[in-house]
Amino acid sequence: MAGEAASRGAGPGSPRRAAAHAPGRVNLIGEHTDYNLGLALPFAIAEGVVVRAEANDPRSESAQRIYAHARDLDELDEFELAEISPAEGWRAFVRGAAAELQRAGVPLVGARLEIGGDLERGAGLSSSAALEVALCLALSELASSASLDRIALARLCARVENDWVGAQTGMLDQLASLYGATDTAVCIDFRALEIEPVPLRLGGWRFVVVDSGERHANASSGYNERRAQCERACEQLGVDSLRDADAAGVAGLPQPLRARAEHVLGENERVGETVAALRAEDLPAVGALLDASHASLRDLYEVSTPTVERAVGRLREDGAAGARLMGGGFGGSVLGLFAPDVPVPPGAREVRPGPGAHLLVD
């Protein structure tokens, strides 16, 4: 843990400034599997959140004070590092990141934070995780702390989301932002916490996202309810997680627990099949797996909405080889896959796998 002296402001060798970029993510497949200790296959995208931090004068009254500015909203927050109270909206992320870093022994210093970047909030591209990750990287760099390893950082960011924001999300988004790499998806095994890079050799095929126009907030959606249903299914099956459940046991569950668990088991299998299809450069097979994932999310996990259905339907009418809702559901972005000879329809945006979270050098 941080000693008293270490928590008293930047030392002589500490940087005065630090900046970090953390990308959003597209989840290619593997939805609602992370908190069930299953498999998922996300990639980091080029767009992300940027946090620029400048240390306050260690001799000034603000030596232990954080000032934060959210550029897109033009809103401010400020608090003392020694007494961080909960807050709402984007402020919950800043306060939670500062509090959890200190709890992990990172000797934070007072600073001014500018939060910007080019990732839209609430559109299902994981702006929340990108914000947590960028905040943590910039703040710990300013503290000159031996950095936490990336798995520890992902866990810490998930605690921010769970305990400070109130969304019981898993670690999909944080791990995707931290471990993404250019032209690569990452196959995450949430039980072993192993991350396997899977090269995306798309040969002219493109992934696109379309904003369904329906805003979602994980905390207020049915997300927490779905998670609780999975926990109830585990209790009834006598297993620690749905990763340990088998089809025969699941078939005996009452509804809707049976349908929820069937989705999770099927989705884990589809992740494995998608990795195999990508390695074989069989993109039509990837498209069919996206469609199957969507059907399961709609019919078994019941996280689609009429607006999302329309967005997915339009992508298919426009010639997508596969399309599905992405992320927690109840709105946000939908994902489509297009063959090289099919034009990307208006309103759809191509997403390319970009680098994972990193410090920026001015």
CA distance 255 to 261: 10
Identify the bridge partners of residue 113 per DSSP, sorted by sequence position: 53, 68
How far is the C-alpha of 303 from the C-alpha of 221, rounded, in Å? 9
- 55 touches ligand GLA by CB under 6 A: no
The Cα-based distances of 225 to 177, 220, 254 in angstroms read 25, 10, 16
Which is nearer to ligand GLA, 328 or 354 (by Cβ)? 328
Question: Cα–Cα distance between 210 and 213 in angstroms, integer?
Answer: 9
Site string for ligand GLA, 216-235 (x = CB under 6 A): --x-----------------
Q: Which of residues 275-334 bind ligand GLA (CB under 6 A)?
A: 327-328
N residues, the chain: 362
Q: Among this protein's residues, is 173 annotated catalytic? A: yes
Pick 213 or 319: Cβ nearer ligand GLA: 213
Binding to ligand GLA by residue 178, rule CB under 6 A? no
Cβ pair 206, 315 in contact under 8 A: no
Which range in 5-13, 167-175, 204-212, 350-358 contacts ligand GLA by CB under 6 A? 167-175
Give min distance, CB of 172 to ligand GLA, in A. 4
Mark residues 15-44: x for contact with ligand GLA by CB under 6 A, - for none: ----------------xx-xx---------
Cβ proximity to ligand GLA, 42 vs 110, nearer residue: 42
Interface with ligand GLA: number of residues (CB under 6 A): 11
Instruction: Kindly state whether residue 172 participates in binding ligand GLA, applying the rule CB under 6 A.
Output: yes
Distance of CA 206 to the CA centre of its chain: 21
∠ CA 342-347-351, rounded to 5°? 70
Using alpha carbons, select from 101, 182, 124, 146 the residue that is nearest to residue 326: 124
The residues binding ligand GLA (CB under 6 A) are 31-32, 34-35, 169-170, 172-173, 218, 327-328
Positions marked catalytic: 173
